Structure 1
Amino acid sequence: MINHTKILRGNSKMKKTMMKSVLAAAMLAGAVVGQGSVSNAAGTTPAVAAATAVPIMRDNLAKYGLVKDVELPVTVTAGGLSYTLEKIMIYETKSDMAQAVIKKYGYTGTEDQKYFIWTKITIVNNSKALVQFSSKDLNSKWRFNFGEEAWTRMPEKLAEKTNSTVALWGWELAPGKKLSTYQAYSYDGDFKWFYVSLSNKGAKAYLDVVKN
């Protein structure tokens, strides 16, 4: 006799797996269609919500044994600079998803790294001075640590572009400005925890996303 209950459960599980894969792919490909933006920190009028809400997959941390203590998005602020981590997806560097983005933007330094990490972020300058990462200021303002530090990677094809909304490298924000964009990291260690550190104008702040 056919066990319809098992079949239904199997189909349900398959649908959930497919949905997660589709959402992950959409998040990774978000930069390709340019979903980032540069604007005033005051914000703009929100778009009318769709009739049917689409579930947002903000991370896949659990896949790597990282159980969140706080839900994304998360924000950390230091010296008037606000950093919000909207989404984060971790992929094996050799995976098709990772390679698609690496090749599209020419990311360098990923070859010998096990993981490629793709993030969607928003940074806001609430200070009264220019904040930047450029030849004039090479100090990284935010860092990721999973047990060891993850390293930001340069999209060679956009290395000369300031404030890219699809693959960030150099950036500068005047007072009152904000930038929504995507940024890549590579990582080769074990996943033990996850915290974001922020440093600006001598001020420092930390945020535990996954505590040890």
Structure 2
Amino acid sequence: MNKMILKVSVAAMLVGQLLTLGGITQKNHVVAAAATTKTPAMTDNFFKYGMEKTQDLPATINADGLSYTLHKVMIYDVNSKDAQTIWKTYKFLPLSLYSKAKYLIWTKITITNNTTQTIRRDMKDLSQKWRVSVDTINGDTTLLTSGDPYYPYNSKESLGDFILKPNESLITYEAYYAKVKPRHFFVSLMYKNTLKNLYLVDPDGVGK
């Protein structure tokens, strides 16, 4: 009888240990899952300037076969550490040459040629194809390109000149400077006879 009671007690103890270990394991899985949960990547900092998005990123517009996708927009005071780092890294011309520049705008984009012809921006075709604006009145920005004469075509780091053959895409970055504090934010895509606007911050409902 005592042996039977002893066996039952041992069995109960083992079951209890297994349940406890199972609980610990389950808790560890929960902790591990929580640790691997990533914070969503920041795609813009409009909130820093009191602006509210009317559309989330990424966002795409198309004009006669030229596709433009905006993935990220970061706005910095030109004298900030972030702006200075970008300015030096991509070898833009000295800030002293842009006496009216107040803000640096850093964008990540994808451009795609869905036409049957080559699309380019260089000495053979100086048209900008798209424009970034931060206000509806005198709010156009100015594109910054590297002062390095050997900066490559189709740069994936900071876009200057590019050539896209039919069905080619390019993921890259562009920098602009603005003379006024951003109040709106929109991109105008112009190709052939088509003009399309992409509004991300539109407090006055201009883009509706």
Q: Which category describes the TM-score, using the shorter chain as reference length?
A: 0.7 to 0.9
Return the offset for 1:160. 3.9
Q: How does the TM-score come out when normalised to structure 1?
A: 0.72
Structure 2 residue aligned with 1:130: 118
% identity of equivalent residues: 38
Task: Show structure 2 runs of 5+ residues with no match.
Answer: 1-35
1:88 aligns to 2:73 (yes or no): yes
Structure 2 residue aligned with 1:115: 103
Larger Rg: 2
**Letter of the aligned partner of 1:210 in structure 2?**
V
Structure 1 residue aligned with 2:4: none
Q: Supply the distance in 1 between the matched residues of 2:77 and 2:116 (Cα, whole angstroms).
A: 40
In the TM superposition, 1:9-158 aligns within 5 A as 52-108=37-93, 110-111=95-96, 112=99, 113-147=101-135, 148-157=139-148
Q: How does the TM-score come out when normalised to structure 2?
A: 0.74
- Off by >4 Å, runs of 4+ in structure 1: none
Which moved further from structure 2: 60-69 or 110-119? 110-119
Aligned positions, number:
162
Does the 8 Å contact 1:110/1:186 carry over to 2? Answer: no
Which moved further from structure 2: 83-92 or 191-200? 191-200
Q: Deviations over 1:160-198 (max 9, x none)?
A: 410000011001100000000111000011322111100
Return the offset for 1:158. 6.2
Task: Show structure 1 runs of 5+ residues with no match.
Answer: 1-50
For 2:85, what is the secondary structure of its paired residue? helix
Return the offset for 1:52. 4.0
Does the 8 Å contact 2:133/2:141 carry over to 1? Answer: yes
